[in-house]
Amino acid sequence: MSESIPQLEEATAPSAHPHILLGFVLLWMVAEAIAYAWYRRRLALRNATPAVVPVVSSEQRDFVFDNVLDLGKYYPDGVWRLLKGWFHPSLAQQDLRQDNLNEMLAWAFCYKDTADLTSSEWQWVEKAKAMINDRYGYSPKPGRADVTTVRNTLDPIVSNYHPLSFYCGVVLAKAFGAVVLRLRGYHHYSSGRVWYWYRSRPALEETLVDQGESSEEVFVFFHGIGIGLVTYLTMIFKLKQKTQFLFEMPWISMNPLAEVVPDDEYAIDVRRALKDQGVTNTQRLCLAGHSFGSLPVVWLKRHCPDVFNRSRVVLMDPVCIYLNLPDVCLNFLYRKPRRLFMRFLRYIASEELGIACCLHRDFFWMQSVIFPQELPQGSTVFLSEYDHFLWRMPFAMSPPRRRVTIDSNSSESSTAASSKTEVLPYEILLLRGVNRSPREVCGQGAQKKRRQIQIHRIFRALATEPTIDLYELQVLAHSPMGFVNSGIRRSVWSALLGISNGGESRGQEEEEAEILSLQEVEKSYPIINTRRCSAMLENLCLFYLSDLCFYPFQHALLPGLDLSFALLEALDPELYHALVAADIESPHFAVPWVLTLMTHNLPTLEMSQRLMDSLLVSHPAIIYYYVPCLLIMHRDDILHVEPFDMPHLHQFCQNLPSTLDMPSLERLIGMVWLCVREVFPLAKLLRLKAARRMPRGSSIHSKRLLCQMGDGRERAIAVERRAKELIKDQRRFVSLFSGGKRLKCFGYATDVTKVLSVTAGCFGAMMSEAPSSRTTSVSDDSSEEEEGSFGDVFDALDKRCREVPLLCKLSDLLDVEPGLITSVMIAMMGGGLLVGWGAFMISTAVAVVNPARGSMRAIRDYHADPEHGAKQLERWLQYWVCLGGIILVESISLSTLLFHFPLWYIAKVALVLYLQMEKCPGRLVLFEWMRDIMGGSSVEMNSVTAVATARQSCSTERTPSSE
CB-based contacts of 506: which residues, under 8 Å, 6+ apart? 529, 771
Indicate whether 133 and 179 sit together in one domain. no
**Strand pairing class (218-222; 187-191):** unpaired
Does any domain span residue 904? no
The domain boundary residue, chosen from 835, 854, 872: 835
CB-based contacts of 425: which residues, under 8 Å, 6+ apart? 373, 375, 376, 377, 378, 379, 402
The domain boundary residue, chosen from 462, 487, 512: 487
> Which amino acid is it at 756?
L
CB-based contacts of 423: which residues, under 8 Å, 6+ apart? 401, 402, 403, 404, 441
Of 393, 243, 234, whose CA–CA distance to 327 is shortest? 393
The domain boundary residue, chosen from 149, 175, 207: 149
Indicate whether 294 and 196 sit together in one domain. yes
pLDDT of residue 507: 40
- pLDDT (tens digit, 9 = 90+) per residue, 562-610? 888 888 988 888 888 888 888 888 888 888 888 888 777 788 888 888 8
CB-based contacts of 780: which residues, under 8 Å, 6+ apart? none
> Which amino acid is it at 591?
V
Q: How far apart, in whole angstroms, are the C-alpha atoms of residue 584 and residue 569?
A: 13
| Helix/strand number for the chain, H first, E second | 42, 14
> Which amino acid is it at 826?
I
Indicate whether 306 and 449 sit together in one domain. no
Long-range contacts formed by 338-343: CB under 8 A, 24+ apart: 342/388
Indicate whether 391 and 255 sit together in one domain. yes
Coil, helix or strand for 32? helix
Reduce the secondary structure of 331-395 to three states and give it as a string.
HHHHCCCCCHHHHHHHHHHHCCHHHHHHHHHCCCHHHCCCCHHHCCCCEEEEEECCCCCCCCCHH
- Expressed as residue numbers, the domain containing 799 is 788-835
In the chain, which residues have pLDDT < 70?
Answer: 1-19, 201-215, 385-447, 449, 465-467, 500-534, 703-795, 812-816, 829-839, 892-903, 933-963
284 φ, ψ (degrees, to nearest 5): -75, 145
Of 277, 274, 276, whose CA–CA distance to 310 is shortest? 274
Does any domain span residue 915? no
CB-based contacts of 371: which residues, under 8 Å, 6+ apart? 67, 71, 321, 399
Longest distance between any two alpha carbons in the chain, whole Å: 137
Give the containing element (helix H, strand E) for 206.
Answer: helix 203-210
Q: How far apart, in whole angstroms, are the C-alpha atoms of residue 459 and residue 469?
A: 10
Of 352, 237, 223, 364, whose CA–CA distance to 296 is shortest? 223
Indicate whether 223 and 93 sit together in one domain. no
380 φ, ψ (degrees, to nearest 5): -135, 135
Reduce the secondary structure of 687-754 to three states and give it as a string.
CCHHHHHCCCCCHHHCCCCHHHCCCHHHHHHHHHHHHHHHHHHHCCCEEEEECCEEEEECCCHHHHHH
Does any domain span residue 305? yes
Indicate whether 217 and 327 sit together in one domain. yes
Indicate whether 200 and 329 sit together in one domain. yes
380 close to 282: Cβ distance less than 8 angstroms: no
Q: How far apart, in whole angstroms, are the C-alpha atoms of residue 224 and residue 253?
A: 8
pLDDT of residue 466: 62
pLDDT of residue 834: 57
Indicate whether 203 and 272 sit together in one domain. yes
pLDDT of residue 740: 35
- What b/e sequence results for 528-553 when a residue is b if at least 16 CB atoms lie within 10 Å of its CB, and e otherwise? bbbbbbbbbbbbbbbbbbbbbbbbeb
Q: How far apart, in whole angstroms, are the C-alpha atoms of residue 831 and residue 820?
A: 16
- What b/e sequence results for 46-84 when a residue is b if at least 16 CB atoms lie within 10 Å of its CB, and e otherwise? bbeeeeeeeebeeeebeebbebbbebbeeeeebbbbbbe
Does any domain span residue 802? yes
Does any domain span residue 87? yes
| CA distances for 125 relative to 82, 131, 146, 547, 680, angstroms | 16, 10, 21, 56, 35
> Which amino acid is it at 696?
R
Coil, helix or strand for 934? helix
Q: Give the number of domains in the chain.
A: 4
Indicate whether 252 and 352 sit together in one domain. yes
**Strand pairing class (311-316; 379-384):** parallel
CB-based contacts of 361: which residues, under 8 Å, 6+ apart? 46, 49, 51, 153, 157
Does any domain span residue 961? no
Strand ranges inside 194-264, DSSP E = 194-199, 218-222, 244-247
Burial (CB count <10 Å: 0-12, 13-18, 19+), residue 612? buried
CB-based contacts of 35: which residues, under 8 Å, 6+ apart? 163, 164
pLDDT of residue 713: 54
Does any domain span residue 284? yes
Q: How far apart, in whole angstroms, are the C-alpha atoms of residue 788 and residue 463?
A: 28
Indicate whether 372 and 298 sit together in one domain. yes
Q: How far apart, in whole angstroms, are the C-alpha atoms of residue 425 and residue 403?
A: 11
Indicate whether 288 and 425 sit together in one domain. no
> Which amino acid is it at 423?
V
Indicate whether 249 and 320 sit together in one domain. yes
Q: How far apart, in whole angstroms, are the C-alpha atoms of residue 271 and residue 265?
A: 10
Does any domain span residue 313? yes
Burial (CB count <10 Å: 0-12, 13-18, 19+), residue 287? buried
